[in-house]
Amino acid sequence: MLLDLTASSVDLTRAICDIPSVSGDEVTLADVIEASIAPLEHLEVIRHGNTIVARTNLGRSQRVVIAGHIDTVPINDNLPTRDVDIDGERHLWGRGTVDMKGGVAVQLKLAAELTAPVVDITWMWYDNEEVAASLNGLNLLAADRPDLFTADFAILGEPSNGQVEGGCNGTLRAIVRTRGVRAHSARAWIGENAIHRVAPILSRLSEYRAKEVAVEGLAYRESLSAVRIAGGVAGNVIPDLCEVEINYRFAPNKTSADAEAHVRGVLEGFEVEITDAADGARPGLDAPIAQQFVAAIGAEPRPKYGWTDVARFSALGIPAVNYGPGDPHLAHHDEERVPLAQIDAVEHGLRAWLTAP
């Protein structure tokens, strides 16, 4: 199977969404993308696992990476795609339309058509973004082929409502534990109930007020939330252990170490185990090439609240932004859908910037 890269970005979105590619099962879509772009003589094509890289080598003074992940979260009766009308506006409905095959479709069309862009471009379509970092195709590619990440600027096609979202928040996960003593529930006073002991933890979290932190002109909103609670042995046993999993989303002016210190301060007196942490990314909008991009798009930059792979580029010293079609609130939603006009608008914006005299 080959994609028709002369088709509209909307039709390409339909085509690639209708090729299921849940994380860990991207090989079919990766094969199709590779086969479709391999004949394009203006691109050097490289495959690394199920990540496909295509780049121009025109000797331009600047190079831009434009990337998008090809995997989705699990399907839940929301494929094949279909067109729907919402308040008079046409949308494409289905898994992946927002996160983020609309953005990937735009990239594939432009990769095929822009034979002489004003900057050299490295296009990256990668697998396993929605799962563990150890499987992330972009992460694995950076480890094995760091030379492919030589760039002055990066754009990630994550859904941003067709606006420019600079940087991203960092994220930290932790387990907070309370311990007790098991006993028969008929003689509860003999034991010490670990579940009852989480009450102060939940109180601190419910009373926590999210902060807005200004970073290079963008206001990033933080949050500290309980996302899971587990405890209990049996219906007639006083539990001796309870665990509360928490997630802290922190502004990109903080490091993971700063975030850990903050969480331990909020939960002082309790046993806290940090299980995962990833730094955010500063907006990156002070670089001249980023300012040129924003001006060409005609957008007012916004902060990215969720963590995205722009942080990987930022860690390499490459300023990076999110720019793609789709409402981030509908990512992973069973009613995932993207306005057709927004796909076209993102294509127009990128094309205008990449071909500007």
* Residues classed as catalytic: 71, 129
Within a 10 A sphere around the Cβ of 221, how many other Cβ atoms? 13
Query: What's at 175, amino acid-wise?
Result: I
Spatial separation of the C-alpha atoms in residues 123 and 52, rounded to whole Å: 8
Q: Return phi, psi of residue 282, to 5°.
A: -65, 160
DSSP state of 78: -
Tokens (6 digits) for 239: 């539990």
Contact in structure between 238 and 136 (CB atoms under 8 Å): no
Residues forming a β-bridge with 48: 51
Farthest CA pair distance, the chain: 81
- HEC profile for 136-185? CHHHHHHHHCHHHHCCCEEEECCCCCCCCEECECEEEEEEEEEECECEEH
